[in-house]
């Protein structure tokens, strides 16, 4: 199993990507698990959804190129990109608080997953970045459009265009990370969530709907789909294929 879904005693759902040997990269199984967790989080006994990665090295290293490297053309890549984009929109518009518990490195699509959550908590010393630009593509799951909703334009644009790994401390100052912690991830998360989980669920849902309605009004889903289509065009470019080839060759030598 590529993931676990656990209901915690304090009333939230914990989704963990359990592919630490792959730096918690997202494959189709993880996508299906996320969709399942989002649908389970709607239950009346769940007050929040927390997403994290197994181990201490990585939160999520984005899409698993060892799986997706076989997607060469726009037509081949688009279904995968759309599938995850729609999952992220479902996560974004879940009528409960959502938390990315960034316990290790977050790269590329891992940052898109984190961006789709309402709150981002990061372990001190980790690094994260929207590195897709270095892969000759853009954010492929709608994460750029999501980031544009959540950060000032110049800050969001610089994070995307620079395509660098940044420290959690830098991202905290930029407003992408909301809380830095040391020690046990789940304990830190429960400390951060304590006041939220003490509220009536109807209150949590009513507040979340303020933002859901805003995103619906601004046609965020439509904008995410347009972003994904633009990424699919870049996906079939020679520059991206060359990046993937180099990545796979390095991986073979490492293994």
pLDDT for 228-250, tens place per residue?
Answer: 999 999 999 999 999 999 988 88
Report the pLDDT value the prediction gives residue 125, as an integer from 0 to 100. 97
pLDDT tens for each residue of 131-178: 999 999 999 999 999 999 999 999 999 999 999 999 999 999 999 999
Token digits for 43?
């239950």
Under CATH, to which class is 3-184 assigned? Answer: alpha beta
Task: Report d(CA 237, CA 133) in Å as an integer.
Answer: 13
pTM of the complete model? 0.97
Q: What is the 3-state secondary structure (H, E, C) of 179-207?
A: EEECCCHHHHHHHHHHHHHCCCHHHHHHH
Confidence of residue 255 (pLDDT cuts 50, 70, 90): low
Total count of residues recorded for the chain: 255
pLDDT digits (tens, 9 = 90+) for 165-180: 999 999 999 999 999 9
Residue 163: what pLDDT? 98
Can you read off the two tokens belonging to residue 69? 């490297």
């Amino acid at each position: 199993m590529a993931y676990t879904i656990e209901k915690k005693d304090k009333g939230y759902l914990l989704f963990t990507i359990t592919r630490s040997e792959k730096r918690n990269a997202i494959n189709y199984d993880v996508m299906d698990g996320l969709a399942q967790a989002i649908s389970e989080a709607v239950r009346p006994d769940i007050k929040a959804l927390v997403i994290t990665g197994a181990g201490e090295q990585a939160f999520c290293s984005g899409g698993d190129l060892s799986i997706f490297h076989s997607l060469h053309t726009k037509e081949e890549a688009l279904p995968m990109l759309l599938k995850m984009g729609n999952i992220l929109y479902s996560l974004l518009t879940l009528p409960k608080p959502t938390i990315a518990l960034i316990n290790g490195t977050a790269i590329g699509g891992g940052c898109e997953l984190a961006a789709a959550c309402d709150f981002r908590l990061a372990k001190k010393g980790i690094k994260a970045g929207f590195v897709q630009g270095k892969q000759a593509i853009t954010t492929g799951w709608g994460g750029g459009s999501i980031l544009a909703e959540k950060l000032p334009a110049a800050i969001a644009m610089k994070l995307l265009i620079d395509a660098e790994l940044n420290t959690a401390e830098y991202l905290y100052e930029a407003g992408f990370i909301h809380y830095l912690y040391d020690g046990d991830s789940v304990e830190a998360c429960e400390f951060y969530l304590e006041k939220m989980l003490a509220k009536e669920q109807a209150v949590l849902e009513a507040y979340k709907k303020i933002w859901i309605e805003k995103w619906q009004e601004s046609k965020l889903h439509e904008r995410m789909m347009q972003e994904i289509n633009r990424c699919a065009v870049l996906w079939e470019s020679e520059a991206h294929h060359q990046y993937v080839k180099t990545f796979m060759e390095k991986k073979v030598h490492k293994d």
